[in-house]
């Protein structure tokens, strides 16, 4: 396999996947492996020479009802990739996160009997809900690359090949993380206290959650006018959407809101904003892990389409929604989900984190979990992928 250039297919659906994909591409090159990469990628991957057949945003759909609306478009994208790789197969397909799309694509590749190994990088939350999906994963995926050690343990029970590769952010983000320096990096006034508001990176999330965070900010600002609110925008489309939303609010609040957008291809403005903030209020998702690894006091929230929520809540197998609480196995941060996600509740939780002792206790818990993620015996994702290419799936030794 090493005597010719590898062809690696990859598909990502959001910024966090784009970050993982770009790092994986660099890892292949750093290890001297001659490979070319194609599929669906974001700006970070494209900057590394990735060939993207479709824009990444086409897969940025969340929720059962929301996906149904875009089903025809998603099928067209899947069929387009199948057609490309049926004519010129890649050696391995690596689906990065976006499990609803990527697991179906992997299944279709297997059904066509194409000579393509399949890898899912970032386990779907099968350990949390709809655990029956593990049987479909076993049938269509040759290897799962897990970010957390408890995920590999789960897959081992079902005899699914899996490797714990660690979360790249755990080693990338330092254990010492001064707040003042983070404010200076964004050109903020270090004398000001900042609250990060992250309603999500998808269009639908900002539609649902943007009014929630701004209504909460209005309540907080009336009681604590010394705080400035920071909102990141990952691209021009999201920036315009947030700006349009802000026009519906009074000038005295808008004057306290600082909208920040990306200045490079790394799409890290959300992380920078959280890092520079005294308090973080964010939508539940992968960003909660970033906030934890930045050791910032936070509260998380989420609201789905009402039908999606009622369908999903009966399938949840764990008591928590956010990664910090799941990793800790207890409530470390406050979760405001669906009916609890009101401006009044969010404002109240933000106000609690203004207490220095409360904020410090939560930050210390974040540092403890950060150290736990660093201490695990992780494997190299590049070598794990090469193992299934060189040795097949059954005898690869990755279990």
Per residue in 47-93, pLDDT (tens digit) is: 999 999 999 988 865 444 445 566 788 889 999 999 999 999 999 99
Torsion sign (Cα): 158, 125, 330, 323:
positive
Give yes or no: residues 176 and 304 share one domain.
Answer: yes
Angle of helix 203-223 relative to helix 343-352, nearest 10 degrees? 60
Residue 349 vs residues 50, 343, 357: alpha-carbon distances, Å: 42, 10, 14
Mean pLDDT of the chain: 89
How many structural domains is the chain composed of?
2
The predicted structure's pLDDT at residue 310: 65
Residue 1 lies in a domain: no
Q: Which domain holds residue 337?
A: 172-374
The predicted structure's pLDDT at residue 61: 58
Give yes or no: residues 238 and 305 share one domain.
Answer: yes
Give yes or no: residues 112 and 236 share one domain.
Answer: no
Give yes or no: residues 209 and 332 share one domain.
Answer: yes
Alpha helix (H) ranges present in the chain? 15-30, 43-47, 64-69, 71-87, 99-111, 133-140, 149-157, 168-172, 179-185, 203-223, 236-246, 251-254, 269-275, 287-293, 306-312, 323-328, 343-352, 356-375, 381-391
Residue 58 lies in a domain: yes
Give yes or no: residues 361 and 381 share one domain.
Answer: no
Interior/surface letters 59-91, b for 16+ CB within 10 angstroms, e for the rest: bbbbbeebeeeeeeebeebbeebbeebeeebbb
The predicted structure's pLDDT at residue 327: 84
Residue 194 lies in a domain: yes
Torsion, Cα 62 257 169 381, to 10 degrees, reads 40
Using only the alpha carbons of the chain, give its radius of gyration: 21
- CB atoms near residue 394 (< 10 Å): 8
Q: What angle do CA 145, 148, 151 make, to 5 degrees?
A: 70
Residue 399 lies in a domain: no
Q: What is the CATH number of the domain that holds 229?
A: 3.40.50.2000
Residue 159 lies in a domain: yes
Q: Which residue numbers in the chain have pLDDT < 70?
A: 1-3, 60-70, 264-267, 310-318, 376-377, 392-399
For 283, the token pair is 């939508």
The predicted structure's pLDDT at residue 392: 54
Residue 74 vs residues 13, 46, 53, 218: alpha-carbon distances, Å: 12, 21, 13, 38
Residue 283 lies in a domain: yes
Residue 396 lies in a domain: no
The predicted structure's pLDDT at residue 68: 56
As a whole number of angstroms, the distance between CA 143 and CA 350 comes to: 41
Comparing C-alpha atoms, which of 108, 115, 90, 101 is closest to residue 37? 90
- CB atoms near residue 253 (< 10 Å): 17
Give yes or no: residues 157 and 178 share one domain.
Answer: no
Please check whether residue 45 is in contact with residue 23, taking contact to mean a CB–CB distance below 8 angstroms.
no
Contacts of 19 (CB under 8 A, 6+ apart): 44, 168, 266, 267, 268
Give yes or no: residues 91 and 50 share one domain.
Answer: yes
Give yes or no: residues 118 and 188 share one domain.
Answer: no
Give yes or no: residues 138 and 208 share one domain.
Answer: no
Angle of helix 203-223 relative to helix 236-246, nearest 10 degrees? 40
For 97, the token pair is 């996160």
Side-by-side strand order, sheet with 193-198? 257-261, 227-233, 193-198, 279-283, 298-302, 334-337
CA 212 centroid distance within chain? 21
Report helix, strand and coil shares of the chain as percent, to nearest 5.
50, 15, 35
The predicted structure's pLDDT at residue 267: 66
Give yes or no: residues 320 and 206 share one domain.
Answer: yes
Residue 207 lies in a domain: yes
The predicted structure's pLDDT at residue 83: 97
Give yes or no: residues 14 and 144 share one domain.
Answer: yes
pTM of this prediction?
0.70
The predicted structure's pLDDT at residue 383: 96
Q: What angle do CA 47, 273, 226 make, to 5 degrees?
A: 160
Give yes or no: residues 208 and 342 share one domain.
Answer: yes
């Amino acid at each position: 396999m090493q005597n010719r250039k590898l062809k690696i297919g990859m598909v990502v659906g959001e910024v966090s996947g784009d970050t993982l994909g770009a790092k994986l591409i660099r890892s292949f090159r750093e290890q001297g492996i001659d490979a070319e990469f194609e599929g669906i990628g974001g700006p970070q991957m494209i900057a590394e020479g990735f060939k993207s057949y479709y824009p990444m945003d086409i897969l940025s759909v969340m929720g059962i009802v929301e996906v149904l609306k875009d089903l025809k478009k998603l099928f067209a994208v899947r069929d387009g990739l199948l057609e490309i790789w049926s004519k010129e197969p890649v050696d391995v397909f690596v689906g990065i996160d976006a499990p609803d799309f990527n697991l179906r694509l992997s299944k279709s590749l297997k059904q066509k009997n194409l000579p393509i190994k399949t890898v899912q990088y970032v386990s779907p939350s099968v350990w949390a809900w709809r655990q029956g999906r593990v049987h479909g994963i076993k049938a269509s995926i040759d290897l799962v690359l897990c970010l957390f050690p408890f995920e590999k343990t789960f897959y081992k029970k079902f005899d699914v090949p899996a490797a714990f590769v660690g979360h790249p952010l755990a080693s990338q983000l330092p254990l010492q993380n001064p707040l003042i320096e983070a404010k200076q990096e964004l050109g903020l006034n270090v004398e000001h206290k900042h609250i990060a508001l992250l309603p999500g990176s998808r269009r639908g999330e900002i539609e649902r959650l943007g009014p929630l965070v701004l209504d909460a900010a209005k309540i907080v600002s009336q009681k604590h006018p010394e705080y400035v609110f920071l909102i990141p925008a990952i691209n021009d489309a999201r920036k315009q959407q947030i700006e349009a939303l802000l026009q519906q609010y009074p000038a005295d609040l808008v004057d306290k809101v600082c909208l920040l957008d990306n200045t490079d291809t790394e799409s890290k403005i959300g992380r920078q904003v959280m890092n520079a903030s005294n308090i973080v209020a964010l939508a539940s998702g992968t960003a909660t892990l970033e906030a934890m690894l930045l050791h910032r006091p936070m509260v998380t929230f989420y609201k789905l389409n009402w039908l999606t929520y009622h369908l999903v809540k009966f399938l949840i197998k764990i008591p928590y929604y956010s990664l910090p609480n799941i990793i800790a196995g207890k409530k470390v941060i406050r979760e405001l989900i669906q009916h609890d996600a009101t401006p009044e509740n969010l404002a109240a939780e933000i106000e609690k984190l203004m207490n220095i002792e409360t904020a410090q206790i939560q930050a210390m818990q974040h540092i403890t979990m950060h150290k736990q993620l660093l201490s695990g015996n992780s494997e190299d994702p590049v070598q794990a992928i090469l193992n299934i290419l060189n040795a097949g799936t059954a005898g690869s030794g990755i279990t």
